[in-house]
C-alpha cells in the first residue's frame, strides 16, 4: 500500500513539474564592476556530455545596472560565467531575482588556455528575501547531505552498508521535509549517489530507487550527478550480465538504434522508453571514448537516435552527442570564421579555399609558440607552393604580436581572434599552440596536426597524397571503356 501511495505521489509530482504554463522570470541588480559587460546565463542542454546552452544574455549598463526577463515554464537551473567565478541559481517561473554579484575578476590568458582551469563555483546572492526560498532550501540540503556523505562514504562502500545509507536518508528527510515538488525530486536523485555506494554488489537496486518515477528531470544537477555515476561505462558491466546478454548480442550484430532500444526495454528495470534510450546514449558515449568499440558504428547509432528517438529530448541529446563526437574529426568540415589580420584587413577561412591550409593558434607570451613560429617560418619558405600557413593570435592585446611579426619578418597571414572569440570554442582550444591541416575543400585532414617540429612534413605529404588520390577516384569517368572490362 505504501509503495502504491508513493508511486501516485511521484506521478502527481511529475504532472506538477511538467504542466506549468510559461511565466516571466526577471533578473535585475546593480554591479558597477561589470559595467558594459554582457553576462550570459546558461542552462543544462545535455546531461550526458554536460553541454550547456545559452538561456539569457544580461547586458550591464555603464552605471552597472541590469534588468532582463525571460519566460520559463519550469524551474530551471542556470549558471553565469563571471571570469574566475561561475555563479549558479535556480529560477522559478513568475519570480523576480535581485542578484548580488561577486567582485569581478577576469581570467588571465594563462587561465583561459589552461585545460585544467575550473572557475570557482559559487551560489549567486539573492537580495530580495521573497525569492530566496527554493535556492536557500537546496543550498542548506546540499551542505548538510554533503557532510553526511563525506563522513560516511568510505564505511558504507567498504561494508556495503545499506542500513546506514537508509538511516542517513531518513534522517536527512526528517530535517528537510518540504513537499515542494522540485525539491522532493531533487532529494531523490541526490540520494542515488549514496545508494550507489551501498548497493555496490547490486547496482540495479540503486538504479531502481534513484531513478523511479515519471517524468525524468534531465536538467536537475542532482540528476546529472547521480545518472552519470550510476551508468558510468554502462556496457562494460551490463553486457556480461544475465540481463544484458540479449543487448550485447544485438549490438554485436550491428542492430539499429530502434532495435537496441526494443531489446533493452525487455529488461523490466528499463521499461520506460525515454529512460532506456537515455541510458543507451550514455553507454554509447562512454564506449566511444573507451577505445574498445568501433567508433563509426557508434557515430551511426547516434545519427539513428536523433532520427528515431522516442522523445524530442532523446533526439536532441543524440544530435548533440553526434555533433560532439564528430566535431573536428578528420574528414569533417572545418569550422568557419571571419577575423581581422594584424594590419586590419578582414579575412575569412573561406578565402583560403582551394589550398591546403596549416591553421595554428598561438600566444606570443608562450615560449613554445615563439619557438614554433621560427619553425613555421622555415616551412613557409620550404613548402610555399604546397601549403598556406594561417596563424590565429590569441593574445588579448595584439600589440606584442604585431611587433613580433615585424621584427621577425614573418610573411604569412596573422589573424587576431577578438572579432570572433567563438573561434576558440569552435576549435576546442584548451592549450597552446594548437594545429590543424585543412584540405582544399576545407575539410580537416590532420586534426589535430603535428607541430612543425613533430614530423609534420611526412604526415602532411601523406595526407596530401591521399587527398589527390581521392580526387582522382572521384573524377574518374562514369562510363566504362574497354579497359574496364
pLDDT tens track for 430-467: 889 999 999 999 999 999 999 999 999 999 999 999 99
Q: Does 187 have pLDDT greater than 90?
A: yes
Domain boundaries, the chain: 20-131, 134-229, 231-326, 338-473
CATH architecture of 338-473: 3-Layer(aba) Sandwich (3.40)
Q: Are 60 and 38 in contact (CB under 8 A)?
A: yes
Residues of the chain above pLDDT 90, percent: 88
What integer is the mean pLDDT of 175-201?
Answer: 95
Q: Where residue 477 falls among pLDDT bands split at 50, 70, 90?
A: low
pTM of the predicted protein model: 0.85
Using CA atoms, how far apart are residues 313 and 459, in angstroms rounded to an integer? 41
Cell representation of residue 163: 542500513
C-alpha 194: how far from chain center = 25
CATH topology (fold) of 20-131: Immunoglobulin-like (2.60.40)
* Rg over CA atoms, the chain: 27
Entry field: residues in the chain: 485
Q: With b meaning 16 or more CB within 10 Å and e meaning fewer, what string describes 61-97? A: eeebebeeebebebbbbbbbebbbbbbbbbbbbebbb
Residue with cell 541526490: 190
User: Do 20-131 and 338-473 share a fold?
Assistant: no
Residue with cell 533493452: 264
Using CA atoms, how far apart are residues 227 and 189, in angstroms rounded to an integer? 8
pLDDT tens track for 115-163: 678 899 999 999 999 999 999 999 999 999 999 999 999 999 999 999 9
Amino acid at each position: 500500500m505504501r509503495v502504491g501511495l508513493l508511486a501516485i505521489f511521484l506521478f502527481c509530482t511529475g504532472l506538477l513539474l511538467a504542466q506549468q504554463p510559461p511565466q516571466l522570470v526577471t533578473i535585475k541588480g546593480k554591479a558597477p564592476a561589470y559595467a558594459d559587460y554582457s553576462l550570459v546565463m546558461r542552462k543544462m542542454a545535455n546531461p550526458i556530455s554536460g553541454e550547456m546552452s545559452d538561456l539569457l544574455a544580461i547586458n550591464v549598463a555603464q552605471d552597472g545596472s541590469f534588468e532582463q526577463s525571460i519566460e520559463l515554464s519550469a524551474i530551471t537551473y542556470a549558471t553565469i560565467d563571471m571570469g574566475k567565478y561561475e555563479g549558479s541559481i535556480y529560477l522559478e517561473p513568475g519570480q523576480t531575482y535581485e542578484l548580488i554579484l561577486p567582485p569581478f575578476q577576469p581570467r588571465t590568458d594563462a587561465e583561459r588556455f589552461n585545460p585544467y582551469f575550473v572557475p570557482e563555483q559559487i551560489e549567486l546572492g539573492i537580495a530580495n528575501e521573497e525569492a530566496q526560498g527554493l535556492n536557500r532550501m537546496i543550498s542548506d540540503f546540499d551542505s548538510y547531505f554533503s557532510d553526511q556523505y563525506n563522513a560516511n562514504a568510505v564505511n558504507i562502500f567498504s561494508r556495503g552498508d545499506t542500513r546506514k545509507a537508509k538511516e542517513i536518508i531518513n534522517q536527512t528527510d526528517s530535517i528537510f521535509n518540504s513537499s515542494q515538488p522540485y525539491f522532493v525530486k531533487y532529494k531523490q536523485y541526490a540520494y542515488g549517489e549514496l545508494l550507489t555506494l551501498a548497493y555496490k554488489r547490486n547496482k540495479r537496486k540503486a538504479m531502481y530507487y534513484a531513478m523511479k518515477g515519471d517524468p525524468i528531470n534531465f536538467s536537475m544537477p542532482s540528476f546529472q550527478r547521480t545518472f552519470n555515476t550510476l551508468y558510468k561505462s554502462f556496457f562494460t558491466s551490463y553486457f556480461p550480465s544475465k540481463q544484458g546478454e540479449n543487448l550485447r548480442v544485438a549490438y554485436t550484430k550491428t542492430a539499429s538504434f530502434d532495435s537496441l532500444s526494443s531489446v533493452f526495454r525487455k529488461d523490466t528495470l528499463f521499461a520506460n522508453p525515454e529512460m532506456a534510450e537515455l541510458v543507451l546514449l550514455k553507454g554509447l558515449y562512454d564506449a566511444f571514448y573507451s577505445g574498445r568499440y568501433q567508433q563509426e558504428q557508434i557515430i551511426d547509432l547516434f545519427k539513428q537516435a536523433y532520427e528515431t528517438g522516442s522523445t524530442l529530448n532523446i533526439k536532441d541529446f543524440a544530435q548533440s552527442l553526434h555533433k560532439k563526437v564528430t566535431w573536428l574529426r578528420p574528414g569533417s568540415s572545418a569550422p568557419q570564421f571571419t577575423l581581422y589580420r594584424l594590419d586590419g584587413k578582414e579575412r575569412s577561412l573561406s578565402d583560403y579555399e582551394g589550398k591546403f591550409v596549416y591553421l595554428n593558434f598561438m600566444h606570443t607570451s608562450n615560449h613554445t609558440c615563439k619557438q614554433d613560429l621560427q619553425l613555421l617560418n622555415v616551412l613557409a619558405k620550404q613548402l610555399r607552393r604546397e601549403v598556406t600557413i594561417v596563424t590565429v593570435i590569441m593574445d588579448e592585446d595584439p600589440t606584442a604580436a604585431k611587433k613580433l611579426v615585424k621584427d621577425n619578418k614573418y610573411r604569412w597571414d596573422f589573424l587576431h581572434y577578438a572579432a570572433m572569440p567563438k573561434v576558440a570554442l569552435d576549435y576546442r582550444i584548451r592549450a597552446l599552440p594548437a594545429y590543424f591541416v585543412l584540405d582544399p575543400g576545407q575539410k580537416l585532414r590532420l586534426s589535430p596536426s603535428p607541430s612543425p617540429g613533430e614530423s609534420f612534413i611526412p604526415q602532411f605529404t601523406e595526407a596530401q597524397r591521399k587527398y589527390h588520390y581521392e580526387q582522382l577516384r572521384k573524377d574518374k569517368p562514369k562510363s566504362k571503356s574497354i579497359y574496364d572490362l
